Every structure is written in structure tokens, then in C-alpha cells.
Amino acid sequence: MRLQDKRTLVTGGSDGIGLAITEAFLREGADVLIVGRDVGKLEAARQKLTALGPAGQVEMVSADLATSPGIAAIIEHVRASGRPLDILVNNAGVAYLVPFETVSEAQFQHSFALNVTAAFFLTQGLLPHLGPCASVINISSYFASKMIPKRPSSLYSLSKGALNSLTKSLAFELGPRGIRVNAIAPGTVDTAMRRKTVDNLPAEAQAELRAYVERSYPLGRIGRPDDLAGMAVYLASDEAAWTSGGIFAIDGGYTAG
């Protein structure tokens, strides 16, 4: 197994991409700690993960990472456990796909709090608790560099662009300590987040979006959460010992065009 006994923390590990990554980590022998807000969702995820078999241990903690106390609680949980982390996945995120002229300050603050500040200060606070050769993986988005017609993304793109900059600067700054920092930039993935942003569009706009997606993805479909898991396992594993500062597009070829 490629992640035998590695201790991992996945933010937003109770659903979508984070859950698929957690599942893959567990199958590779890692012990996993998942973080989300909703205890019911965390418990459902824990049951699903535990049912996979005797691989690694599954632990869950509820915290709102868009807040300083939430971030502090997770850092304290890891510190108190006395066991260093080998892998940190900054995955929890929020997407406000709203026109530039309507973005509210509250949406701006929330987007940055979760997509940028949480990744920044969680990684900073966990630094003393990261094991040698630790791997940090940030879940970015194709929206950092490529837009979709009629999907206004100024705020979301800005926050994921900031996360990409953080990925590269931390790879440079933490590399001398043996810590690797990379990002995965998924294309459109069928998760609750996507459904939330699509379901509130008028039917005509949904149909238009579906048609656009179908002709824009060279591989002919949008992603499933487990499409991201292979790259996450690779970046987490020792196979990626000389891989740092990369922003890896896993998007069915979408950003190649």
C-alpha cells in the first residue's frame, strides 16, 4: 500500500471530492482525519469509510474553517493527538458564481476565509506538527485560469488564483524543510457544490451549460469525485518525492483547449 500508516487530514472530507480522496487514502493504508461543519454528514462519511474494511483509522472533527476558532480547533486537535501529520489536503471550498457587480462584501469575505485564509493559517498552524517529508495538497480549480461563458466567476477565480500563488510560494519556502506543496485544479466535477450552483439557473441556462460542457470536454464528460483521487494519492505518496510547486490540471482535457 502506497500510504501505509501515513496520517492524513482532509478538510471537507465528508463529501464530494474530499470524500473521494479520503476513500482513496484509506484504501492505500492511511489513517484519515476528516473535517467539515455538519456532524451528520461527517458521521455518514465515517460509516461509509469504515465499511471499506480494516485499512486505516477514520477520525472526524467538526469545525467551521471559515472562522479563526474553527482553524484553531483543528490545530489543537492535531497537537493534542501527539501524532504528526504526513499529509494535509486543503480541500474545503465555496464557489460564489455571481456577477461581479453583485458580489457582496459578505460573499467576498466568506470566499476568501474558506478558500484562502483557511488554507494559509491551517497550514501555518500545523507546520510544527507536520512530519518529515510531509505533503500539502491544495484543491484549486480550473476557474483560476479559464472561465466559462455566462458563469460569472470573478470572486471564485480570484480566490483560487490566490490559492495557486500560495501553493507555489509555499513550495519554495517550505521545500528546504522537506515539505512538498502542490495543487490539483479540477475541471467541473459532479458534486453537491456543482449541483448547488447549477440548480438555481433557469432551465434554458442549464441546458445551454450542459451543451457547452459536452462539447468543451475532450473526454466527453464532466468529472466524478474519484477522478481526482489518483493524483491526490500520487502527490501524497513517496513516489512524488521530487514533485513540488505544481498545479496539476485534472479536467478531462478542458484547459488544454
Ligand X SMILES: NC(=O)c1ccc[n+]([C@@H]2O[C@H](COP(=O)([O-])OP(=O)(O)OC[C@H]3O[C@@H](n4cnc5c(N)ncnc54)[C@H](OP(=O)(O)O)[C@@H]3O)[C@@H](O)[C@H]2O)c1
Q: Which residues bind ligand X (CB under 6 A)?
A: 11-12, 14-18, 35-38, 41, 64-66, 91-95, 114, 139, 141, 186, 188-189, 191-194
* 96 carries an active-site annotation: no
| Shortest distance, position 177 Cβ to ligand X, whole Å | 25
- Which CB atom, from 131 or from 212, has the smaller least distance to ligand X? 212
| Shortest distance, position 114 Cβ to ligand X, whole Å | 5
| Shortest distance, position 229 Cβ to ligand X, whole Å | 12
16: phi > 0 → left, psi -120 to 50 → alpha, else beta; which? left
- Which CB atom, from 16 or from 152, has the smaller least distance to ligand X? 16
Distance CA 72, CA 173 (A): 23
- Which CB atom, from 3 or from 92, has the smaller least distance to ligand X? 92
Distance CA 12, CA 75 (A): 15
Options 156, 212, 234, 254, the catalytic residue: 156
B/e letters for 122-139, b = 16+ CB within 10 Å, e = fewer, are bbebbbebbeeebbbbbb
- Which CB atom, from 22 or from 54, has the smaller least distance to ligand X? 22
| Shortest distance, position 13 Cβ to ligand X, whole Å | 6
Distance CA 121, CA 114 (A): 10
Give me the residue label for grid cell 512530519.
131
Q: Sign of the CA dihedral 70, 74, 77, 80? A: negative
255: phi > 0 → left, psi -120 to 50 → alpha, else beta; which? alpha
Q: How far is CA 113 from each of CA 7, 87, 117, 183, rounded to the nearest angstrom?
A: 25, 22, 5, 18
How many CA atoms within 13 Å lie on the side-chain side of 40? Answer: 0
| Shortest distance, position 88 Cβ to ligand X, whole Å | 14
All cell numbers assigned to 142 = 480550473
- Which CB atom, from 12 or from 252, has the smaller least distance to ligand X? 12
Catalytic residue list: 156
